[in-house]
Structure formats: structure tokens, C-alpha cells
């Protein structure tokens, strides 16, 4: 049978295939991943949602019930409202800083010769190779009055007296930025790797200055990566509680810290579950907004 005849036979089989089979095929291919997502993410969220409606009486972890008290308490408790504002503000500032630093670092690695790439990638992997507790201990050696930062500033003559940045909001900001930076960097580096460097040469040949090339060529090509990197950084910054709690002041209460306190300190599982549900919904809303904005920008550029 010739090649043309085989193609005709295959086309005839495809034409006789039911329409529902073609519509079902993508779901069949995604079914293993969907089952894993439901088992390890969907069911725990459902259980946590049900736990948030239980009651907390005496010293028991929870009492089966169906009450809105845990959610109503969040509207009347100023501590929780302040925690929401603190978490959102700290996560937003650290995410913006992470995207700026990660973008510059990724662009540097992309522009450098390949022999430098391995060293830069290994440097970016360093925060991922050690635990968060080890990172916190490292900053404890850097920020105190007798730490490395104070010693370096005094030795360089920039200041005369030793200073301590430990247990400040700035220290919490630096710690969060350091933790989330590797994820942002690798997302942006993957975007840069998909860009042909010849576009820079073409822009220069047309007489564009470096800043104009960045603004009109590189930035539009990497907007999707910037949005993805910001979303990833924001999720990590919102959910991380150990770093801001260990490096920041005692008054720096985040939602993650309140969840940990309600769960382990006060043994109030329903209240902790309610806080977690609100945090999950808030992050989902932010991600939807970022996705919609990215889609609108893509449509306008198209």
C-alpha cells in the first residue's frame, strides 16, 4: 500500500471517530495529574474547610459543629485585620524587590558567555540547598550589633558606631526576598532563554539605545515571565511565617504566624483552619487578578 493510500485510510478512520472521543481524550491524558491534585490538594482543602466550621470548647482541639463564629471573629478581631495588612504589605514589597533583583540577575546570566552560566546557576541554587532554619541562623550572624554587617560598615568608615538591624521589619523583608529569589530567577531565566539574542543586534543596527532596546524589545517579550515570577514570589512570601517571625520584631504578626499560634499554641484547630481558608482564597484572588491582567496585556499586544 502506498503512502497516499495509508494516509487516506487513516483520515477515514479519524473521520469515523465519534466527536465525544476527541473531546474526552484531553481529560484522559490529564487524569493522572488530576487524581494526584485531588488526592493531595483537593481533599485536604475540603477537610480544612469543614474543620473551619467546627467549634472550640475548653481545651479540646475541636468539637464537631457547624458555626460561622470562626469567620465572624476575623471581622471583629483587630489583630487579624492588622495581620492581613502586614502580610499583604510585606509580601508585596518583597515580591517587587525579588522580581527586580531576579530580572537583573537572569538577564546578566543570559547575556554572559556560557562558561559563566554554571557558576551563576550554582549561586542561585544555594538558598534551595539549605533549610529555612539554616538561612535564619545565617541572618542572625549578619544583622546583630556584633554581626558581619555592622563590622563591615564600621571597618569601611561609613558609620562610627555599631548598629543592629536584627528584629526589624527590614530584616524580615531581606529574609523573605532571599528565600523567594531563586524561584523568581529560574522562571525569568527560562523566559530569557527563549529569546533569540539576535533581536538585540537588530535593535542596535536600527539605532536604538540600550535603554530603548530594553523598554521596547526585552520588556514586552518578558512580561509574561515577570507576572509568573511575581505570582510565585507573592505566594511564597504570603505563606512563609518562620522567616518574618524569626527576623522581624515581636509586633510583626503575619497570617502565617497567627495560623501557627492558633494551631500549636492555643490548640484551636477550627480557628486555624478558618485563617488558612481565608489565606488560600486571598492568594487565589490575587493570582486570578494577575492572570487577567496578563491576558489583557497579551491581547492588547497582539
- Closest by Cα among 283, 276, 230, 234 to 255: 276
Model pLDDT, residue 48: 94
C-alpha cell at 157: 568608615
Residue recorded with cell 489583557 = 296
d(CA 286, CA 173) in angstroms, rounded, equals 20
* Top mean-pLDDT range of 7-16, 96-105, 154-163, 279-288: 96-105
Angle value at C-alpha 263, between 257 and 264, nearest 5 degrees: 90
pLDDT at 297: 58
Position 251 scores a pLDDT of 86
Query: Which of 237-251, 259-273, 282-296 shows the lowest per-residue confidence on average (mean pLDDT)?
Result: 282-296
| Nearest CA among 130, 140, 188, 134 for reference residue 165 | 140
Please determine, for residue 8, whether its predicted confidence score (pLDDT) is greater than 60: no
**pLDDT of 153:** 87
Alpha carbon of 29 to those of 24, 25, 189, 285: distances in Å? 9, 6, 29, 28
Q: What tens digit of pLDDT does each residue of 71-95 get?
A: 998 888 888 889 989 999 999 999 9
Which tens digit of pLDDT belongs to each residue from 267-279? Answer: 999 999 999 999 8
pLDDT on residue 9: 47
pLDDT confidence band for 222 (50 / 70 / 90): very high
Distance CA 185, CA 191 (A): 10
Can you give the pLDDT at residue 26?
Answer: 81
Mean pLDDT on 51-71: 91
Backbone angles phi, psi at 63, to 5 degrees: -125, 125
Lowest mean pLDDT among 165-174, 178-187, 234-243: 234-243
The reported pLDDT for the residue numbered 13 is 52
Q: How far apart are CA 130 and CA 143, in angstroms?
A: 19
Is the pTM value of this prediction over 0.85?
Answer: no
On average, the pLDDT of the chain sits at 86
pLDDT over 80 at 243, yes or no: yes
pLDDT value, residue 43: 93
Say if residue 204's pLDDT is above 70.
Answer: yes
Judge whether residue 19 has pLDDT over 70: no
**Averaged pLDDT, 35-60:** 91
State residue 296's pLDDT score: 62
Region of poorest pLDDT, from 4-18, 108-122, 135-149: 4-18
CB 255 within 8 A of CB 283: no
Three-class secondary structure assignment of the chain: CCHHHHHHHHHHHHHHCCHHHHHHHHHHHHHHHHHHHHHHHHHHHHHHHHHCCCECCCCCCCECCCCCHHHHHHHHCHHHHHHHHHHHHHHHHHHHHHHHHHHHHHHHHHHCCHHHHHHHHHHHHHHHHCCHHHHHHHHHCCCCCCCHHHHHHHHCCCCCCCCCCCCCHHHHHHHHHHHHHHHHHHHHHHHHHCCCCHHHHHHHHCCCCHHHHHHHHHHHHCHHHHHHHHHHHHHHHHHCCHHHHHHCCCCCCCHHHHHHHHHHHCCCHHHHHHHHHHHHHHHHHHHHHHHHHHHHHHHHHC
Quickly count: other Cβ atoms within 10 Å of residue 288's Cβ: 10
Give the pLDDT band (50/70/90) at residue 10.
very low
**What φ, ψ does residue 145 adopt, rounded to 5°?**
-65, -35
Taking only the tens place, the pLDDT of each residue in 106-121 is 999 999 888 888 889 9
Angle at the Cα of 162 (from 159 to 164), degrees rounded to 5? 115
* Res 209 pLDDT > 50: yes
pLDDT of residue 17: 56
Amino acid at each position: 500500500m502506498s503512502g497516499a493510500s495509508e494516509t487516506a485510510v487513516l483520515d477515514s478512520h479519524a473521520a469515523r471517530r465519534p466527536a465525544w472521543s476527541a473531546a474526552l481524550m484531553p481529560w484522559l491524558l490529564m487524569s493522572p495529574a488530576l487524581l494526584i491534585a485531588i488526592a493531595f490538594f483537593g481533599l485536604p482543602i475540603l477537610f480544612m474547610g469543614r474543620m473551619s466550621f467546627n467549634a472550640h470548647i475548653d481545651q479540646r482541639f475541636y468539637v464537631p459543629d457547624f458555626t460561622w463564629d470562626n469567620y465572624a471573629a476575623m471581622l471583629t478581631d483587630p489583630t487579624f485585620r492588622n495581620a492581613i495588612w502586614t502580610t499583604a504589605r510585606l509580601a508585596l514589597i518583597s515580591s517587587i524587590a525579588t522580581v527586580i533583583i531576579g530580572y537583573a540577575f537572569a538577564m546578566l546570566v543570559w547575556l554572559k558567555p556560557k562558561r559563566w552560566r554554571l557558576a551563576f546557576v550554582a549561586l542561585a541554587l544555594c538558598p534551595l540547598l539549605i533549610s529555612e532554619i539554616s538561612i535564619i541562623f545565617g541572618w542572625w550572624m549578619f544583622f546583630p550589633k556584633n554581626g558581619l554587617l555592622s563590622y563591615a560598615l564600621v571597618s569601611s568608615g561609613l558609620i562610627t558606631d555599631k548598629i543592629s538591624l536584627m528584629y526589624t521589619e527590614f530584616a524580615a523583608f531581606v529574609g523573605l526576598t532571599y528565600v523567594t529569589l531563586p524561584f523568581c530567577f529560574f522562571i525569568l531565566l527560562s523566559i530569557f532563554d527563549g529569546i533569540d539574542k539576535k533581536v538585540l543586534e537588530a535593535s542596535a543596527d536600527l539605532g536604538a539605545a540600550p535603554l530603548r532596546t530594553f523598554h521596547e524589545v526585552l520588556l514586552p517579550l518578558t512580561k509574561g515571565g515577570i507576572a509568573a515570577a511575581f505570582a510565585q514570589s507573592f505566594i511564597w512570601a504570603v505563606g512563609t511565617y518562620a522567616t518574618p517571625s524569626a527576623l522581624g520584631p515581636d509586633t510583626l504578626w503575619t497570617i502565617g504566624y497567627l495560623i501557627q499560634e492558633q494551631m500549636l499554641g492555643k490548640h484551636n484547630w477550627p480557628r486555624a483552619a478558618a485563617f488558612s481558608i481565608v489565606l488560600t482564597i486571598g492568594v487565589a484572588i490575587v493570582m486570578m487578578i494577575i492572570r487577567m491582567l496578563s491576558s489583557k496585556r497579551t491581547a492588547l499586544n497582539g
